[in-house]
Amino acid sequence: MLMFYHRLALKLQRFRWLILVVTLGGTLGFLSLLVFAPAELAQKWQLTSIVIAIIGLLAYLMSLLFIQPIAQVGPEHSFIYRVKIRFQQTFSYLLAMLLSMIVLAVLFLSLRALTGIIAILFFN
């Protein structure tokens, strides 16, 4: 699992500025809907803009947290070093599990936003 997130972070590393622009666009879109848009329009598009911002933040967070290569421990290393690396790997694994759960929750929200967009476009 950590190797998957490491490879994903390596691929996302090239697109960090684009991810930041998308995140900023989603955040500014949400704020403009919140402040300037009429209530009916804001209710239709707020979930979509906040989901875009959250997806961008999660992608940026993944590209920052998992870019470091995973350290390998062998019998030639000292006991303290092996314990330290095991704690780091355990913390990284728990962080990866937490991010996976957050990604699943955001995917659920994005499906709700997508059904709202389809309903607005085709059944209105």
Percent of the chain residues past pLDDT 70, beyond the cut: 99
Q: Which H/E stretch holds residue 73?
A: none
Closest Cα partner for 81 from 73, 92, 93? 73
Percent of the chain residues past pLDDT 90, beyond the cut: 59
The better pLDDT of the pair 32, 1 is held by 32
* pLDDT for residue 98: 94
Q: Are 61 and 96 in contact (CB under 8 A)?
A: no
What would the pLDDT profile of 68-98 be if each residue is shown by its tens digit?
888 888 888 888 998 999 999 999 999 999 9
What would the pLDDT profile of 6-27 be if each residue is shown by its tens digit?
999 999 999 999 999 999 999 9
Query: Locate tokens 């947290």: which residue?
Result: 65
Q: Which H/E stretch holds residue 78?
A: none
Residues 6+ apart with CB under 8 A from 105: none
Radius of gyration of the chain (CA): 19
* pLDDT for residue 48: 86
* pLDDT for residue 76: 86
Residues 6+ apart with CB under 8 A from 89: 2, 70, 71
Q: Are 59 and 16 in contact (CB under 8 A)?
A: no
* pLDDT for residue 124: 67
